[in-house]
Structure 1
Amino acid sequence: MMTSKIYITAFSIICALVCIQCNSTESAAKKQKVELSSPNFVNETIYFNSYTAGTKEGGTGYEIHLENFDLPENVKLNKVYFAGQSGDVYPTSIGYSARTKEMSTGKEDVIMSSDVNKEAANNVPSTTVKFPFPLTESQAGIQYTENGVVKYTIMNSVLQREPIYYPSAPPKEQNQ
């Protein structure tokens, strides 16, 4: 009888500690608030082209172009979020660009086996990338770093340009 009371008391203490830990983790997550900023270096010249690769492995996606962005030295553009996808930003001759990629929409084979190693060869399905703020179809989100602090902004009126259709890649030579 005494032993069961000890077990019940110990179990109650453990449950209470777990609940307190979960609550403090939730509070810490709420404290890390992400805020939307309005940087002065962003102009309204942003457009995109959808593209289709010439091979199945190339997939489809968007090329997003940010023209004439005058960035201060303490600012670095990181990612562009558009149409549920994201791409890393890189410098170009017109300013900056980002490329998103969605894998082929064709039906792909899935390996179903009792051997875990064989199933591990399956491709991970693509998922929609979430921007911390809601975006409409004509908006793009930009993640950037200013003075070491990660910030976000939304670009309105993203213009659509002609799609790009890349030709098929030449076959690779196989050395045998």
Structure 2
Amino acid sequence: MMKIVRPFLFFGALLFVAVHMSQCASSPKLQDSIALDLGEPYYQSWIAGVKGGGSGFDVYIPIKNNPNHIILDSVYFRDRGTKLEEIQPGLFRGRLDSSLNKSDIIMSNAPYAEYGNTLPKHPKPLPFELKDNECILGYREHHRKKYFKISGVIKKEPLYYPGTPPKKP
């Protein structure tokens, strides 16, 4: 009788641990507050003035004061995420490119002309539910990854670049 019960107990415990661990990894917990003084975050759409130059959004996170030396590393906005870079002291930018206005696919009726085409990249679904004026700020505090939701992200006038957008202002 014990020989029959032992494998069921083992597999039951293994299943319990696997389900418990998968739920922890799939839903990051949002923090209620963040130990830094945020300015007014905003976003700006942009489009390059040349064919194939690209388009997208830039999300800006201004920081007034960071007494605990929190490291900002990512932003999630409109079903996409990207790394943050500090473009000037106290101002972080996340650039979210879109597939519009890009000419990276060769369309031809010649047999081997389309050989170099790559499959389009589909963004991974975010583990967060966001409205159009919300973003998630990813950061590290005391070597632990944390997330904070920012509501009321302001929309600014779009930028129209004559060429491709500059990498750094």
Tell whether the structures are fold-level matches, with TM greater than 0.5. yes
Assess, with a 3 A threshold, how the Cα gap between structure 1 residues 76 and 46 changes in structure 2: closer, same or farther.
same
Match for 1:36: what amino acid?
Answer: L
- The aligned residue for residue 99 of structure 2 is 103
Report the count of equivalent residues. 151
Q: Which has the higher strand share?
A: 2
For the residue of structure 2 that corresponds to 1:127, the secondary structure is: coil
4+ long deviations beyond 6 Å: 17-20
Structure 2 counterpart of 1:40, from 35, 41, 50: 35
Q: Decide which structure has the larger Cα Rg and report it.
A: 1
In structure 1, list runs of 5 or more residues that go unmatched: 1-12, 170-176
- What is the match of residue 3 of structure 2? none
More helix, by proportion = 1
Q: CA RMSD in A?
A: 3.4
Listed one character per residue, the Cα deviations across residues 16-53 of structure 1 (whole Å, up to 9, x for unaligned) are x9897666433322244521112131425100110002
How far apart are 1:70 and its partner, in Å?
2.2
Aligned equivalents of 1:44 and 1:132: distance in 2? 25
Using the aligned pairs only, state the percent identity.
21
CA distance in 2, matches of 1:110, 1:150: 43
Q: Which residue of 2 aligns with 1:58?
A: 53
Between the aligned partners of 1:122 and 1:20, the Cα distance in structure 2 is 47
Q: For the structure 1 residues 111 and 41, does the alpha-carbon distance in structure 2 shift closer, same or farther, using more than 3 Å as the test? A: farther
When the two structures are superposed, what TM-score results if normalisation uses the length of structure 1?
Answer: 0.69
Equivalent residue for 2:158?
A: 163
Give ranges in structure 2 of 5+ residues lacking alignment: 1-6, 165-169
1:133 corresponds to = 128
